[in-house]
């Protein structure tokens, strides 16, 4: 799995309707491909950030051309 560090200027907030209402995508709040309210600019395109979370920590990632890329926040 590839990992790339992003900077604050590459990140924008784009919440979905349930984010705006304070709701979760699943009843438990846990899951393997949860949609976050962030998008990241990478290779001149915007990609939605997903989160895989079980227990009390999660991993953020994007999917580009079928490849999973881990998001390392650079700020």
Domain spans in the chain, listed from the N-terminal domain onward:
2-73
Please report the pLDDT score of residue 57 as a whole number.
87
Q: Mean per-residue pLDDT for 5-9?
A: 82
Let me know: does 64 contact 6? Beta carbons within 8 Å.
no
| Model confidence at 52: pLDDT above 70 | yes
| pLDDT, tens digit (0-9, with 9 covering 90-100), for 8-51 | 888 999 999 988 998 888 888 899 999 999 999 998 999 999 99
Backbone angles phi, psi at 66, to 5 degrees: 80, 0
């Amino acid at each position: 799995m590839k990992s790339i560090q992003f900077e604050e200027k590459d990140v924008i907030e784009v919440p979905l309707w349930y984010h705006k209402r304070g709701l979760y995508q699943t009843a438990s709040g846990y899951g393997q491909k949860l949609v976050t309210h962030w998008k990241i600019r990478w290779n001149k395109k915007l990609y939605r950030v997903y989160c895989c979370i079980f227990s009390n920590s999660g991993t953020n990632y994007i999917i580009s051309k079928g490849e999973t890329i881990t998001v390392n926040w650079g700020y």
